[in-house]
């Protein structure tokens, strides 16, 4: 393994150690999420990260997560809305805790 690949693997492992559900994603999927820490970057991968959760629900500004929706269209709202700010692996942990 060359030095660049090892550095990339170490970087991705660091992110996966912070948010273990990232282990469910391929390196390419994880890189697409980490390359853009917006909520929309996570949406295509929600079913891989959370059982039967296809989408995060947001407020009108799209910066606060208010709940989740299942693949069947059932939804629920969080008791406490969660801000999607900063490192994605951190705020995804708050989503996991709010569930």
Range(s) of the domain holding residue 77: 3-98
- Domain harbouring 11, CATH code: 3.20.180.20
Confidence band for 1, pLDDT divided at 50, 70 and 90: low
Task: Write the CB contacts of 45 (distance below 8 Å, at least 6 apart in sequence).
Answer: 25, 29, 33
In the predicted model, what is the mean pLDDT of the chain?
93
Q: For residue 65, what is the DSSP state?
A: E
Confidence band for 36, pLDDT divided at 50, 70 and 90: confident
Quote the tokens at residue 5: 């690949």
pLDDT digits (tens, 9 = 90+) for 40-94: 899 999 999 999 999 999 999 889 999 999 999 999 999 999 999 999 999 999 9
Confidence band for 99, pLDDT divided at 50, 70 and 90: confident
Q: Residue 38 has what pLDDT?
A: 83
% of the chain beyond a pLDDT of 90: 80
Domain count, the chain: 1
Exposed e or buried b per residue across 66-93, where buried means at least 16 C-beta atoms within 10 angstroms of its C-beta: bbbbeeeeeeeebeebbebeeebbebbb
Q: What distance lies between CA 31 and its chain's CA centroid? A: 12
Place of tokens 């912070």: 18
SS3 assignment, position 87:
coil
């Amino acid at each position: 393994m060359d030095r660049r690949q090892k550095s990339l693997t170490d970087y991705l492992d660091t992110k996966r150690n912070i948010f273990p559900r990232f282990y469910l994603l391929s390196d390419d999927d994880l890189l697409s999420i980490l390359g853009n820490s917006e909520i929309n970057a996570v949406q295509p991968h929600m079913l891989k990260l959370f059982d039967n959760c296809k989408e995060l629900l947001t407020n009108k500004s799209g910066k606060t997560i208010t709940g989740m929706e299942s693949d069947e269209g059932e939804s629920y709202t969080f008791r406490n809305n969660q801000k999607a700010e900063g490192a994605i692996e951190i705020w995804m942990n708050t989503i996991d805790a709010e569930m």
